[in-house]
Every structure is written in structure tokens, then in C-alpha cells.
Amino acid sequence: MRTKFKKFQEKFIEGLLMLSGTVTSLTVVLIVIFLFNEGLGVFNKKPIDEGYVIAINQSNPVVKLSPAQIKDIYDQKIKNWKQLGGHDEKIVLFKVDDITDYYTDEEIGKNFANLPHCINDFIVKNKGVIAFFSETYLPLKFTGKYIDVDKIKVSEFLSGEEWFPTAKPVAQMGVKPLIYGTLWVSFGAIIFALPIGLAAAIFLSEIANKRIRNILKPLIELLAGIPSVVYGFFGLVIIVPLIQETFNLPVGETGLAGSIILGIMALPTIITISEDAMRNTPRAMKEASLALGASKWQTIYKVVIPYSASGITAGAILGIGRAIGETMAVLMVTGNAAIIPHTLLEPVRTIPATIAAELGEAPSGGVHYQALFALGCILFIITLLINLAVEFVTNKKKQRKH
């Protein structure tokens, strides 16, 4: 009877574990599917607010414009339709706010009753006009011509150098500065944190006595529980002014400040996991190395570190993951300038900081909203590629040993 009950108990526990693993895996898969479903939807949309149109005179031969061309028109870098394949006509910019410059209050009417007629009249009379206005003001018989705006393309999204998702009349969706900013800050953090973390792990596992280890390890692990906003305040008050004074910069909110803060935040993870891996090195291997005449440092370098390489790699991966995905601390100390950085001493903007800062303001289901989900997809892919690269290198080392 007891044997049957024990077998039932084991099967029940086994079933619970399997169910838990299945639910967890399915949840992760569904999250990824939802992320990509929302993010990829941005490439089926035009970078113009829903309910707005761009119109020109009926006689204008131009039919389609790219977002970059429209931006150049409104920035007055393109001033003649001839530059866009049209007639030799000077481009006249028109927005609804400009209507009072051309029509009197009586002509516009009470409560803007005649506004649609005035807009239509202005477009008809001006051959070089390009007008941006809400569909609300479209007259019943519109005699102008709508401009077809290109949809957002993957290549332009990834290679574009301007991120202005709320720009009028068309949004500028170039994520290149955000990708560069994320990579600069993240790799700077790892370059800073990995050597220090590895050195601290070696000290705790192989050099420090039991008393010192029992004091330091809980303190290091305690750092992992400090909220990121506290690290951000520390960086803002201490590190940012120090960088500004040291390098004589106009502002101290730079990629370097972000790298240092993220490096400090990644240290507890790297130290704890690496130290645990080193302490699991079999004592017999260390004693054999020492017995063959190797010094303590040679044993650490030739035996302990190679044996615990997988654990050190895991710590580095988790550290990189925290650095890439961190939001609040980075948002506070990097300057949030969506420009392509050339050094760590320039303000940068990362993908997580952009999502955190803008998601609350983006209308649900709109172009801006879906573009932020697309940024999340890019972040997911970057993290995945880094993990795969580290796993590949680790497996290659293991194969060489065998």
C-alpha cells in the first residue's frame, strides 16, 4: 500500500513539474509572439497620424513622396517641385493654422463653418501648395489631390539616423542612433564590470579567508537588491559631475556615465555566479596542480578558471542581459540624445530608455506605439545573438579540451 502511494506521489510531483515547465515555456513563447506581432505591424503603416492627409494641387504631377522627402520639404531643404520630378513651381507650405493669413474671419465663418471650403479654395488657387490637415476639414467635393506617403520600410527603419516619432506631418522612425547607443553603453559596462567582477570572484573563492568571505559576500549580494533608481541618483550626483570635470565636458550625462552605472549594477551578478562556479572546482584538481609544482596563481589560472569557465560565462551573460535591458538608471545619466555617438563621452539614448520614456505617451495601436514594440523586438534579437555567440564560444572551448 505504501509502495503504491509513494509511486502515485512521485508521479503527481513529476506531473506538476512537467506542467510548471510547460506553462512557463508556453508563456515565454506567447510573450515573444505578442511582441513581434505588435512590433512588425509598424511596417504595414504609413508614418502619418491616422485621420490626417497631405494634399497638393490637382495639376501637380507628383503622386508619391517618401517620409524623408516630406521632412526635407517642411525643413525647407527642398523648395521647388522640380527637385521632386514636378513642375518648376516654388513649394508653398500650408497648415490649418495658416488659414487666417489668407482668409478673413468672415470668409472662414462662425465656428470655422467655411474652413473646408477655404482650404479647398487655397489648394485650387496655388499650384505649388502642399497642405497638411485633418480629414475633419475635408470638403464634400475636394478638388485637390492626395499625396501617397510610402509605408515604413524595414531598411529605412534600421538605417535611419533620426528618431522623431511625433514629428509633423510625418514621423521620422530611424532607430540607428538608439541601437548604437544601446551597444556602446552595454559593451562599455561589460568592459568595466567583467575584469573587476572576475578579480573579486577569484579573491573571494581562492584568496580570502572564511571570515572575510562571510562578510563580503552578503554585502555584494545586497547590491543586487538596490533599486535601479537609487543607482541612477548616485550616478547623477556623483559620477556625472566627476566625468564633466575630469574631461572638461559641457555636460556629464554621457555614455560613459551610463556604462559605469550599469557596470556597478552588473557586478553582484557576475561576482556571485563566478565565485560559486570557482568554489565548485574539485579540491583534488587543485591539490594535484600544487603537487606537480604549480604555484597558487598558476593553479588559479590553469585549473580553476578553465574548469569554471561555463559558470563565469553564465555570469557574464546575465550581466550583459542586465546592462542591455536596464532602463531607469540609464535614463537618468546618459543625456537621452537620439544621435549616433562616436565616443563614450557623448550623450546617448538606449532602446530600453526610449521605450520607458515614450510608451506612456504613445496612443495605443498607433504608429509610435508599434514602433516602440519594434524596438523591443530589436532588443530581444540583440540579447539572443549575444547569448548564442557566448554559447558558441563556450562550446568550442569544451570541444577543444576533449
Place of cell 485633418: 134
In three-state secondary structure terms, 294 is coil
Give, as one character, the DSSP assignment of residue 109: -
Model pLDDT for residues 258-301, shown as the tens digit of each residue: 999 999 988 988 898 888 888 888 888 888 888 888 888 888 88
pLDDT band for position 393 (50/70/90)?
A: low
Asked if the model's pLDDT at residue 322 lies above 80, the reply is no
Asked if the model's pLDDT at residue 175 lies above 90, the reply is yes
Asked if the model's pLDDT at residue 318 lies above 60, the reply is yes
**Single-letter residue type at 117:** H
Contact 74, 68 (CB under 8 A): no
Q: How would you class 257 by CB atoms within 10 Å of its CB: exposed for 0-12, middle for 13-18, buried for 19 or more?
A: buried
Name, of 204-213, 248-257, 280-289, 358-367, the range with top average pLDDT.
248-257
DSSP code string of 146-211:
EPEEPPPPHHHHHH---EETT-SSB-EE--HHHHHHHHHHHHHHHHHHHHHHHHHHHIIIIIS-HH
Residue among 359, 367, 365, 355 at smallest CA distance from 43: 367
pLDDT band for position 238 (50/70/90)?
A: very high
Cα separation, 47 vs 66, in Å, equals: 10
- Mean residue pLDDT of the chain comes to 87
CA angle 113, 118, 119 (to 5 degrees): 110
Cα separation, 157 vs 179, in Å, equals: 11
- CA 180 to centroid of chain Cα atoms: 10
Over range 87-102, report the average pLDDT.
89
Over range 340-353, report the average pLDDT.
91
Which structural domains are found in the chain, ordered by start?
A: 52-151 (3.40.190.10), 176-401 (1.10.3720.10)
pLDDT band for position 214 (50/70/90)?
A: confident
Give, as one character, the DSSP assignment of residue 229: H
Over range 352-365, report the average pLDDT.
88
User: 166 — phi, psi (to 5°)?
Assistant: -110, 10
Place of cell 541612477: 232
The more confident residue out of 289 and 242 is 242
Asked if the model's pLDDT at residue 124 lies above 80, the reply is yes
Distances in Å between the Cα of 244 and the Cα atoms of 230, 247, 281, 349 are 20, 6, 44, 18
Positive or negative: CA dihedral 257, 259, 262, 263: negative
Residue among 394, 390, 391, 384 at smallest CA distance from 28: 384
Dmax of the chain from CA atoms?
A: 102
